[in-house]
Chains A and B, each alone.
Chain A
Amino acid sequence: MAARRATKKQAAPKEELLKYYKDMLLIRRFEEKAGQLYGMGLIGGFCHLYIGQEAVVVGLESVAIEGDKRITTYRDHGHMLACGMDANGVMAELTGRIGGYSKGKGGSMHMFSKERDFYGGHGIVGANVPLGAGLAFSDMYKGNKNVTFTYFGDGAANQGQVYETYNMAELWKLPVIFVIENNQYAMGTSVKRATKSSSFWERGTAFSIPGEQVDGMDVLAVRAAGQKAVKHCRAGKGPYILEIMTYRYRGHSMSDPAKYRTRDEVQKIREERDAIEQVRGRLLDAGATEAELKAIDKDIKDVVNAAAEFAKESPEPDPSELWTDITVSA
Chain B
Amino acid sequence: MATEILMPALSPTMEEGTLAKWLVKEGDTVSAGDIMAEIETDKATMEFEAVDDGIVGRILVAEGTESVKVNTPIAVIIEDGESADEIEAPAAPMAVPAVEEPASAPEAVAYAAPVQPAVDRSPDYPAGTEMVSTTVRDALRDAIAEEMRADETVFIMGEEVAEYQGAYKITQGILEEFGARRVIDTPIT
Contacts and interface: CB of A to CB of B under 8 A. Distances in A.
A263 B100 CA distance: 41
Interface residues of B, number: 38
A255 B44 CA distance: 9
A156 B189 CA distance: 8
B160 A189 contact: yes
B188 A186 contact: yes
B159 A255 contact: no
Contact of A40 (B49, B71, B99, B100): B71
Contacts of A36: 51
B132 interface: no
A159 B164 contact: no
Interface stretch (A142-150, A227-235, A313-321): A313-321
A257 B189 contact: no
Nearest to B7: A39
A259 B46 CA distance: 9
Interface in B31-86: 32-33, 35, 43-49, 51-52, 70-71
B33 A270 contact: yes
A35 interface: yes
Interface residues of A, number: 44
A189 B185 contact: yes
Contacts of A160: 189
B30 interface: no
B164 A189 contact: yes
A126 interface: yes
B11 interface: yes
Interface in A180-200: 186-189, 193-195
Contact of B51 (A35, A42, A188, A194): A35
B107 interface: yes
B160 A187 contact: yes
A96 B96 CA distance: 16
B96 A41 contact: yes
Contacts of A258: 46-47
Interface string A128-161: 0000000000000000000000000001101110
Contact of B12 (A45, A194, A250): A45
A316 B71 CA distance: 21
Interface string B85-107: 00000000000110110101011
B6 interface: yes
Given A36-B51, A40-B8, A40-B71, A320 B107 contact: yes
B128 to A, nearest CB: 39
B51 A32 contact: yes
B102 A188 contact: no
Given A38-B9, A189-B164, A318 B102 contact: yes
B113 to A, nearest CB: 18
A256 B46 CA distance: 7
A251 B70 CA distance: 20
Contacts of A51: 33
Nearest to B100: A316
B109 interface: yes
A18 interface: no
B187 interface: yes
Contacts of A163: none
A36 B10 CA distance: 10
B1 to A, nearest CB: 12
B154 interface: no
Given A41-B97, A263-B35, 11 more contacts: A40-B9, A125-B188, A158-B187, A158-B189, A187-B160, A187-B164, A255-B11, A257-B44, A263-B47, A318-B104, A320-B106
18 contacts: A36-B51, A38-B9, A51-B33, A155-B187, A156-B188, A189-B160, A249-B33, A255-B43, A255-B46, A257-B43, A257-B44, A259-B163, A263-B47, A270-B33, A318-B102, A319-B106, A320-B106, A323-B109
Interface of A: 32-33, 35-36, 38-42, 44-45, 51, 125-126, 155-156, 158-160, 186-189, 193-195, 249-251, 254-260, 263, 270, 316, 318-320, 322-323
Give 8 nearest A-B pairs by CB, closest first.
A39-B8, A188-B164, A257-B44, A319-B106, A194-B187, A320-B106, A255-B11, A155-B188
Interface of B: 6, 8-12, 32-33, 35, 43-49, 51-52, 70-71, 96-97, 99-100, 102, 104, 106-107, 109, 159-160, 163-164, 167, 185, 187-189
